[in-house]
Amino acid sequence: MARGLFITLEGLDGSGKTTQIRRLAGWLKKRFPGEDPVLTRQPGGTETGDLIRTLVLDSRSSQLAPMTEMALMFADRAQAIAEVIGPALEQGRIVVCDRFTDSTEAYQGGGRQLGSEPVLALHRLLCGNLQPDLTLLLLPSLEVSLERARRRNQRAAEQEGADEVRFEQEQDGFHHRVWDKYREIAAREPGRVVLIEGDLSLDEVHDRIVEAVAARLVSAAS
């Protein structure tokens, strides 16, 4: 059976990925009535992954060494591929994943300054070098993203007692490096990564996403 379609969304915290994934899923369901796209996220998406997510995002894990952090992201990802992503793609389904290995390259490789090479090597070793068919990279300006992420986390902490602020607490230099690494990935892999830049409205971003997905579906079918 033909492999399904693997779409990932990437971007800084507060880039609006979550809203856009919801809208993309709605569009996919309308366009392919029989199709039920698999939506998942990293870290998380499996029971094991949710435990790892708590461990890496909780502000109490502030002593986590960068190498440990990278290893945990890959532990989460290997489990998600084994349990969710791999089987769904084998069944020919569309999988939409909120963050994938580009996040590790941007945050641990760039932000934590571990470099791209160990990330790509671990990806080959632990993830069978699985590549998305399409990656939508949302890069509104750094200032807008950070402000949105801080407000959202404050709300989540107040309303649900959620504590997922480890990355937002980082200094601006960290986020700049994440941003630069994302741009480097987009320049290196223009065939896979569609860069959606600038402070666009929700509708404008959605339109660009749908355009990119539709184009990929056409090329996958031919």
CB of 123 to ligand TYD, least distance (A): 10
* Closer CB to ligand TYD, 93 or 148, in the complex: 148
CA nearest to 10, candidates 191, 178, 220, 124: 178
* Residue 133 near ligand TYD by CB under 6 A: no
* Closer CB to ligand TYD, 4 or 43, in the complex: 43
CB of 32 to ligand TYD, least distance (A): 26
Tokens representing 34 are: 């029989």
Q: What distance in Å separates the CA atoms of residue 103 and residue 72, rounded to the nearest whole number?
A: 13
Stretch that binds ligand TYD, among 100-108, 122-130, 185-193, 206-214 (CB under 6 A): 100-108
CB 149 within 8 A of CB 168: yes
Tokens representing 104 are: 């590790």
CB of 12 to ligand TYD, least distance (A): 7
Relative orientation angle of helices 66-80 and 47-57, to the nearest 10 degrees: 160
* Residue 99 near ligand TYD by CB under 6 A: yes
Residue from 18, 68, 113, 154 binding ligand TYD (CB under 6 A)? 18
* Residues between 151 and 170 that touch ligand TYD (CB under 6 A): 164, 167
Torsion of CA 56, 105, 130, 213, to 10 degrees: 100
Beta bridge partners of 38: 95
CB of 212 to ligand TYD, least distance (A): 19
* Closer CB to ligand TYD, 35 or 164, in the complex: 164
CB of 203 to ligand TYD, least distance (A): 20
Q: What distance in Å separates the CA atoms of residue 30 and residue 214, rounded to the nearest whole number?
A: 13
